[in-house]
Chain A
Amino acid sequence: MHGIIIHSGEWDKVYHAFNIASVYSSLGEEVVVFLTYWAVDTIVNKKIDCGDKERTEIICREINSGKIRRLDEAIKIGKAFGKLRVVVCSATLEILGIDENKLPSWVDGVGGLTEVLESNNLVFI
């Protein structure tokens, strides 16, 4: 199993981390993405379309042209193979005061670090 911990809330880091996870999943490899701190803030507070800073214009243009997919679409592609699991850090929800019911539908569950620490390969972003 592969594990990817996404701590950063920067859109491009979250996006590429999920792209890595999607490729693993498409190749039949089990992968868990564990979202913590600012990554949770990004996915909950509707910053998932094209980022929210100066690069937004470029990314939105390429999403609209079909060259790349929206973040939530990219995640759904990865999940379509049944090998990608997305877990949100329970402590983060408490610290940032985020209601679990506000998590996107593609989140599989809420848990702790043990969900991902047993991975053979672990990436921290």
Chain B
Amino acid sequence: MKLKLKKVGEKYELDVKDMVCPFPLTLTKLALEKVDNLEVITNNPPSARDIPRVLRKYGYEVDVKREGEVWRIGVRR
């Protein structure tokens, strides 16, 4: 499964824009199998709400920034 994963400085960006549930979450988790410092980019409001909630429950540090219609979800182990 090819991910839209790009290294930007110290972190990796995962672009899941225009995807709907459950793929933003499952692809985020797939990316976290490969990297520890991730920024997920989504324009799907339910994913912007659910991904942080689920990842925090599983012990990840998460911060969310909104830029207009796009959310950037920072995730660290």
Contact = CB atoms under 8 A, between A and B. Distances in A.
The secondary structure that dominates the A interface is helix
Nearest to B21: A19
Interface residues of A, number: 18
A26 interface: yes
Interface stretch (A44-52, A77-85, A86-94): A77-85
A104 to B, nearest CB: 16
A68 B19 CA distance: 6
Q: B interface, how many residues as a size bin?
A: 10 to 19
Interface in B19-42: 19-20, 22-23, 25-27, 29-30, 33
B22 A19 contact: yes
Contact of B22 (A22, A28, A65, A73): A22
Interface of A: 19, 22-23, 26-28, 65-69, 73-74, 76-78, 80-81
